[in-house]
Chains A and B, each alone.
Chain A
């Protein structure tokens, strides 16, 4: 399973998440983007441990992070790292991140590299 960034077919600018109009050239039509899988390596830009969780989470705390990937794109994801530090090298896996009723949602989870 992959998470995709979107590359403008006209100017090559990468976006994550999806946008309808390219942020760089503004010239594309809808869906004039190529999906490009996000790289899995990056470094921790910032993070938090959340204690006040939304209802469908039955864990007491949740690690969240913003990671800067090797291609310069940034990603928000869950973090399963015991001793996080800013700038730390991390590796992402696409896993189950949330269940809403019977629906399962997948996303990026970061581990120490």
Chain B
């Protein structure tokens, strides 16, 4: 397998976008092509989860390759629930690593706000098991909430820890001009004030409004290329060094241990194995904080902190910008937004941006190794990517 490099990145604002889904996917691709100065690619992968159901647009990749005038290059749509983004990057990686293609464009997009909130909740709930979960009215927040309750009982995580993640990430997003939320919040306002229950009501007990990521539209793109192509461009060399994926039981109640996310553990192990690196080598990470509890748990399962101590590291400020291991300095899903198909690619965008030392105000100084964790379903299909700066 050849080495694969990230040579171009592009992103839209994550907000409410009143444009067709194919344009939301194409715009960041145009930006990424400008970024690396290339005008042709060998193949496209388009990550998207809801096109068919929410936007009445199937076979999205076929629309995108044409609107970018990149025909006759091959193109496919990759759907892996909320992990579509990283899965599409994985496919791009394989295409270049195998030697089949030299330049592959991977773009992820989602337009969730075309329908109202109730329908969005419903759409996301379709990834649950139809007979054992969906039929009961189970939604993703309810699964996260039941998991959170167990985690609180077992490891002593409290609502305050969850609020700390919310405040850290939503405020970090203020330094990210593309992020969805541009509203600072305080622990006092969402937890301590007498009006906190109205400011921050329960979505599914014990998870509250600010514990959940917003519903966003958006797109992000990354262009992967062979070493030969990468060295010709005048951009810092960032290699996609490790790719790992693992799955777990579809139904949440069948997990071996109800407080473990084994697919996260497995995906990270494989990614580190391929990259020849360890969790201790990572300088900056983008974890999948669709719910604040997930940042805490994933930080343990990928190996940054011992199991059950993620919230302790959070308390010590280790995961904020300036700390030992900054997590989600882009705002994460919580602050930047979560257009489901785009998120995996947006995480990669951020890491590449950081490793190129171009992240300005939110730059993690000296970042050489970065990790992204894209969490599909409720932990039943997880893809982990490890990037490394060379030279």
Contacts and interface: CB of A to CB of B under 8 A. Distances in A.
Interface of A: 16-18, 45-55, 57, 62, 64-66, 74-78, 86, 97-98, 105, 107
Contacts of B258: 45-46, 66
Chief secondary structure at chain A's binding surface: strand
B348 to A, nearest CB: 30
A75 B207 CA distance: 22
Nearest to A87: B153
Contact of A76 (B122, B141, B202, B252): B252
A12 to B, nearest CB: 17
B138 interface: yes
A98 B137 contact: yes
Given A54-B125, A55-B119, A77 B203 contact: no
Given A46-B258, A49-B205, A76-B252, A97 B119 contact: no
A72 to B, nearest CB: 12
A108 to B, nearest CB: 8
Nearest to A77: B136
B196 to A, nearest CB: 15
A63 to B, nearest CB: 10
Interface stretch (B72-80, B90-98, B101-109, B142-150): B142-150
A47 to B, nearest CB: 6
A97 B242 CA distance: 45
A50 B204 contact: yes
Interface in B133-180: 133, 135-139, 141-142, 145-147, 149-150, 153
A10 B350 CA distance: 50
A73 to B, nearest CB: 9
Contacts of B135: 97-98, 105, 107
B100 interface: no
Contacts of B251: 17, 76
Contacts of A107: 135-136
A15 to B, nearest CB: 8
Interface of B: 118-119, 121-122, 125, 129, 131-133, 135-139, 141-142, 145-147, 149-150, 153, 201-207, 251-254, 258
Contact of A48 (B131, B132, B146, B153): B146
B203 A52 contact: yes
Instruction: Identify the 3 closest CB pairs spanning chains A and B, nearest first.
Output: A48-B145, A74-B253, A17-B132
Contacts of A16: 132, 254
Given A48-B205, A50-B204, A62 B137 contact: yes
Contact of B146 (A62, A64, A78): A64
A75 B253 contact: yes
28 contacts: A46-B149, A46-B150, A47-B149, A48-B149, A48-B204, A48-B206, A48-B207, A50-B137, A50-B141, A50-B203, A50-B204, A52-B141, A53-B137, A54-B121, A54-B122, A54-B125, A54-B137, A55-B119, A55-B121, A62-B142, A66-B258, A74-B254, A76-B132, A77-B136, A78-B136, A78-B137, A86-B149, A105-B135
Interface-central residue, A50, A65, A86, by most chain B CB under 10 Å: A50
A45 B146 CA distance: 9
Nearest to B145: A48
A54 B139 contact: yes
Interface-central residue, A48, A50, A53, A107, by most chain B CB under 10 Å: A48
B203 to A, nearest CB: 5
Contacts of A51: 201-205
Contact of B136 (A17, A76, A86): A76
Contacts of B132: 16-17, 75-76
B153 A57 contact: no
Contacts of A45: 150, 253, 258
A49 B122 contact: no
A49 B148 CA distance: 13
Given A76-B136, A98-B135, A107-B136, A48 B142 contact: yes
Given A78-B137, A97-B136, A49 B202 contact: yes
Contacts of A50: 137, 139, 141-142, 145, 203-204
Nearest to B125: A54
Nearest to B255: A74
A21 B381 CA distance: 19
A105 B134 CA distance: 10
Interface-central residue, B137, B146, B203, by most chain A CB under 10 Å: B137
A46 B146 contact: yes
